Amino acid sequence: MHEAWLPREHPLHRPRHGARQKLAVISALVFFAAPTLLYVVGVRPAEIENHPLASFPSVGDGWGFFRGFDAWATDNLSFRPAAITAADGVSRGVFGEPPTFGDEPDTGPLGTGATPAPPPDRQPEQPGQGPARAADVSVVEGTDGWLYLDADMTAKCKPSRPFAETVGLLKELEEAVETSGREFVLLVAPDKSTMVPEHLPSNYPNKECADAARTELWKQVDAAGGVDLRGELQSVAKGLGRPAYFKLDTHWTDEGAMAMVRRTAEAVQPGVTATWTTRPGAKFSIPADLPGIQGKRGNREGTLYSLRPDGTTDRTQAPRTDLSTPFHRQSDPTEGTIDDPTLFLGDSFTGVSVPYLSAIFTDVTVLSYLSSVKRPTATINEIADHEVVVFEIVERALAVGGGTWLTDDFINRVRTELAKRPIRR
């Protein structure tokens, strides 16, 4: 006999629809029906973070369907911006502190997780251009309204392997590329927290261990011969009278991007920048990435520049932020340009630098190194198709271990393929 059919005075009697059950049913109906009703009347989910809304997962993904469903359901809640704003207001108003959207941040823009690498045919999908989801990352609020990605610190405190081992793998990749006659440049983009520490709060999670780890990480980078941009970025900031990073965004400004392009060009072809001239142009204001993680809105405001490699003709080209598939740009050689076929394997810091690097490199292809996770063969072929390989990785991604793509297996595959197609200079 069902327990609801027992007499009410029976100790095992339970009503079929008790008050709590009814409340749960009503709450579930509101939660699932409200977004549908809002969609019908024209309300659409907003991209409050700078990544496209997650698409509905395929049933062919197996158990991956359920992981993908979480991301889809989170992104496509029509009232999510209002809910995050409400949570922020309650947290600040009641508890006097900002809310925490998760406790295990990824490495943010074009981040790489800290999980061990699965077999090549089972590699997980990696985040796209821009910050990881709000459920996975958090923001450190600094002074004067400055925002920082918490992963700047967490990545250094929770690496998947020792820094020396990660840098050693990159050196092996460099050796594999250069043995084939190609040129390799390792470029590490400093974290915003490294270059603009003066606006960090006096105390924040992982402060002590991150400070110590940062010093050790850069020692490893310098010992490996990687391009250390900290000096150039400090000089740029001194000349500008302000940091070369955005207040509400995790990336460097256009001035910082040009410093990267200049240093990279000199590493590839010393003296090539002697004829370059630059001139400030239009101002711009576009959505910043860090407010979106908090469910807010804010812009990064900066200045576009003209870049004239020959001192006369502006060669600056259009931006490109989607690096998930390779894109190629070609232009006529002139004085002050680098004309060898060049591949930039990078992340979102390369993405914001595209207008300037494509003004200097006349035969350039740009691709996210994370493409090697799902398309290793295609990525290796891109390396083989070029004579110069510039590898740019943000400091926090290097600190956390480089990502699941950086393995002995991948490097050995690069070495084998490039040995079949050597470059004779």
SS3 41: coil
Whether residue 297 is contained in a domain is answered as yes
Helix axes 408-420, 163-179, angle to 10 degrees: 10
State residue 101 phi and psi, 5-degree precision: -100, 65
Helix, coil or strand: residue 420: helix
**Tokens standing for 206?**
């992982």
Q: Show pLDDT as tens, one digit a residue, over the chain (425 residues).
A: 666 667 777 776 666 655 666 777 777 777 666 666 666 666 666 655 545 566 667 766 666 666 666 666 666 666 566 666 655 555 555 545 555 554 444 455 554 333 333 333 333 333 333 333 333 469 999 999 999 999 999 999 999 999 999 999 999 999 999 999 999 999 999 999 999 999 999 999 899 999 999 999 999 999 999 999 999 999 999 999 999 999 999 999 999 999 999 999 999 999 999 999 999 999 999 999 999 888 888 999 999 999 999 999 999 998 887 888 899 999 999 999 999 999 999 999 999 999 999 999 999 999 999 888 889 999 999 999 999 999 999 999 999 998 888 999 999 999 999 999 998 86
Residue 407: in which H helix or E strand, if any? none
Residue 20 lies in a domain: no
In-domain check, residue 71: no
If one counts every other C-beta atom within 10 angstroms of the C-beta of residue 135, the result is 14
pTM, full prediction: 0.73
Across-strand partners of 262?
Answer: none
Residue 24 has a pLDDT of 72
Residue 1 lies in a domain: no
8 A C-beta contact, residue 307 and residue 265: no
The answer to whether residue 74 sits within a structural domain is no
> pLDDT for 103-153, tens place per residue?
444 455 554 333 333 333 333 333 333 333 333 469 999 999 999 999 999
SS3 assignment, position 142: coil
In this prediction, residue 342 carries a pLDDT of 98
User: Token pair of 247, please?
Assistant: 């207040």
Quote the pLDDT of residue 295: 82
User: What is the pLDDT, as a whole number, of residue 408?
Assistant: 95
Buried b / exposed e over 4-36, threshold 16 CB at 10 Å, is eeeeeeeeeeeeeeeeeeeeeeeeeeeeeeebe
Residue 115 lies in a domain: no
pLDDT at 324: 87
Total tally of structural domains belonging to the chain = 1
- Cα–Cα distance for residue pair 132/337, rounded to 1 Å: 35
Q: Residue 98: what pLDDT?
A: 57
Which pLDDT score, from 0 to 100, does residue 119 have? Answer: 34
pLDDT of residue 82: 61
The C-alpha angle 228, 233, 237, rounded to 5 degrees, equals 165
In a domain, 106, yes or no: no
- So what's the pLDDT on residue 195? 97
What pLDDT is recorded for position 118?
34
Residue 129: predicted pLDDT? 34
Secondary structure element (H or E) that encloses residue 281, with its range: strand 277-287
Predicted pLDDT of residue 399? 95
* Contact between 309 and 334 (Cβ < 8 Å): yes
Q: What is the pLDDT of residue 321?
A: 78
Identify the bridge partners of residue 148 per DSSP, sorted by sequence position.
Answer: 140
Contacts for 331 with CB less than 8 Å, ≥ 6 apart: 315, 317, 337, 358, 362
Contact criterion met (CB below 8 Å) for 333 and 384: no
* Domain-embedded: residue 385: yes
pLDDT at position 269 is: 97
Are 326 and 320 spatial neighbours (Cβ–Cβ below 8 Å)?
A: no
What's the domain range around 216?
139-420
Residue 127, phi then psi, degrees to nearest 5: -60, 155
